[in-house]
Amino acid sequence: QVQLVESGGDLVQPGGSLRLSCAASGGIFNMYTMDWYRQAPGKQRELVATITSGGITNSVDSVKGRFTISRDNAKKTVYLQMNNLKPEDTAVYYCHARGRWTDFWGQGTQVTVSS
| CA-wise closest residue to 79 among 89, 71, 87 | 71
- The torsion region of residue 27 among left (phi > 0), alpha (psi -120 to 50) and beta comes to left
Report pLDDT digits (tens) over 76-106. Answer: 999 999 999 999 999 999 999 999 889 999 9
The pLDDT of residue 13 is: 98
pLDDT class for 1, splitting at 50, 70, 90?
Answer: confident
Report pLDDT digits (tens) over 18-72. Answer: 999 999 998 888 899 999 999 999 999 999 999 999 999 999 999 999 999 999 9
| CA-wise closest residue to 48 among 74, 79, 73, 75 | 79
H/E run at residue 9? none
